């Protein structure tokens, strides 16, 4: 079942509810925009309290992907899929094959890949049903595989730019509080350690936190305490919405730059950060490395071209921050404005957009 609408800012082109009783599939695919190309965005597998919460998450993530792909100058629109995981036990391969059939029915208007809760093996199951998938087993000399190292690299390069602006130096000796030590958060910790940063880490899995702490000499904080840790930079690398009104009030860091999507609970929370003098690096600008790798794999680019585009992430953040400063905007407002301009320009919308 799907609901079709005309895409405008904040309104998706289509919402497809996907169900398969045999496998337990209960999910949603949101196509926010196909103005720039097929809607691309990963498949998140999570346990939600109900379908409404699942769909709400997918809608926000899909809009973020439309903005992310536009700002990364990719020939892709924005979309997202979310699966509400069934109770254990269930056949994971059958679940993702059913999801693959749902993707195939969209005829190439949506391209999926990994996200939180999914991996290469899941995408291989999807591939048995459709070719509109990336994040598959990497082939020699070609983009592919787990995109999280590329996401981490883009965040790292963006953090270098943000720290240079906020503190006038590099990452050596800077204290970074990393929330979430999944594939991307762990990869970011490695890059930060190599750059001479001091680490404070938080992770719900205590054994993973202990491993990272031992490997990089990091201090461990609880997931709740990490926001108020004495750090120069806060790097959210877990789920979104962490910076709500209360979170902004507890934050001590002067820079926010991480891999999580939808870090701000509301746009107004980004305004509150700006009023406090906190430099917020907009999430969908800095965490685009993974989707660049997905795009390169799907469109057949070579590894060198993919890496070059990922390494331009810090420059793209710099352009957003320059625009924000020039027009007196908070960085997230500047990023949203620039993303919408790109989408509207391609759609032939000539309506003026105020700076």
Question: What is the token pair recorded at 303?
Answer: 């590894």
Q: 41 burial class (0-12, 13-18, 19+ CB within 10 angstroms)?
A: buried
Tell me how many helices (H) and strands (E) the chain has. Answer: 13, 13
For residue 154, what are the contacts with CB-CB under 8 A and spacing of at least 6?
286, 287, 288, 289, 290, 292, 310, 313, 314
Q: Cβ distance 227 to 170 under 8 Å?
A: no
pLDDT tens figures, 298-317 = 999 988 999 999 999 999 99
- Give the pLDDT confidence score for residue 347 in this predicted structure: 63
In the numeric block, the tokens 């100058």 are attached to 73
* Residue 351 pLDDT level (bands cut at 50, 70, 90): very low
Residues in the chain: 355
CA distances from 40 to 30, 99, 158 (A): 10, 15, 23
- Give the pLDDT confidence score for residue 145 in this predicted structure: 83
pLDDT tens figures, 53-103 = 999 999 999 999 999 999 999 999 999 999 999 999 999 999 999 999 999
Q: Which of 68, 80, 316, 333 is catalytic?
A: 80
- Give the pLDDT confidence score for residue 138 in this predicted structure: 83
- Give the pLDDT confidence score for residue 355 in this predicted structure: 37
- Give the pLDDT confidence score for residue 226 in this predicted structure: 96
- 89: preceding bond cis by omega (within 30 degrees): yes
Q: Higher pLDDT residue, 302 or 7?
A: 302
In the numeric block, the tokens 């969209």 are attached to 106
For the entire predicted model, the pTM comes to 0.87
Mean pLDDT, residues 14-35 taken together: 97
Does residue 4 register a pLDDT over 70? Answer: no
- Give the pLDDT confidence score for residue 208 in this predicted structure: 97
Mean pLDDT, residues 39-43 taken together: 96
In the residue annotation, 80 being an active-site residue is answered as: yes
In terms of DSSP bridges, do strands 233-236 and 175-179 run parallel, antiparallel, or are they unpaired? parallel
pLDDT tens figures, 333-349 = 999 999 999 998 876 54
Does residue 48 register a pLDDT over 60? Answer: yes
pLDDT tens figures, 112-169 = 999 989 999 999 999 999 999 999 998 877 788 888 999 999 999 999 999 999 999 9
- Give the pLDDT confidence score for residue 203 in this predicted structure: 97
Mean pLDDT, residues 234-250 taken together: 94
């Amino acid at each position: 079942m799907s609901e079709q609408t005309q895409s405008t800012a904040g309104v998706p082109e289509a919402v497809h509810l996907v169900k398969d009783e045999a496998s337990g599939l209960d999910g949603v695919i949101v196509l926010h925009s196909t103005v720039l190309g097929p809607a691309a965005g990963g498949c998140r597998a999570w346990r939600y309290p109900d379908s409404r919460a699942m769909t709400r998450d997918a809608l926000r993530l899909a809009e973020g992907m439309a903005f992310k792909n536009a700002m990364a100058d990719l020939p892709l629109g924005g979309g997202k899929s979310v699966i509400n995981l069934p109770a254990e036990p269930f056949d994971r391969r059958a679940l993702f094959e059913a999801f693959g059939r749902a993707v195939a029915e969209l005829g190439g208007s949506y391209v999926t890949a990994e996200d939180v809760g999914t991996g290469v093996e899941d995408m291989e199951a999807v591939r048995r049903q459709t070719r509109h998938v990336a994040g598959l087993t990497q082939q020699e000399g070609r983009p592919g595989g787990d995109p999280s190292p590329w996401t981490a690299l883009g965040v790292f390069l963006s953090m270098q730019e943000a720290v240079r602006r906020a503190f006038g130096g590099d990452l050596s000796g800077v204290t970074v509080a990393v929330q979430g030590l999944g594939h991307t958060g762990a990869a970011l910790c490695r890059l930060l350690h190599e750059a001479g940063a001091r680490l404070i880490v938080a992770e719900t899995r205590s054994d993973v936190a202990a491993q990272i702490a031992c490997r990089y000499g990091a201090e461990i904080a609880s997931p709740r305490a990490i926001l108020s840790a004495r750090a120069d930079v806060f790097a959210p690398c877990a789920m979104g919405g962490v910076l709500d009104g209360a979170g902004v009030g507890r934050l001590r860091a002067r820079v926010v730059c991480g891999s999580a999507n939808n870090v701000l609970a509301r746009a107004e929370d980004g305004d509150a950060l700006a009023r406090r003098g906190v430099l917020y690096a907009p999430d969908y600008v800095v965490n685009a490395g993974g989707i660049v790798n997905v795009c390169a794999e799907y469109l057949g680019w070579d590894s060198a071209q993919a890496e070059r585009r990922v390494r331009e992430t810090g420059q793209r953040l710099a352009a957003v921050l320059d625009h924000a400063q020039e027009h007196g905007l908070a960085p997230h407002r500047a990023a949203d404005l620039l993303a919408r301009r790109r989408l509207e320009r391609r759609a032939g919308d000539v309506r003026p957009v105020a700076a």
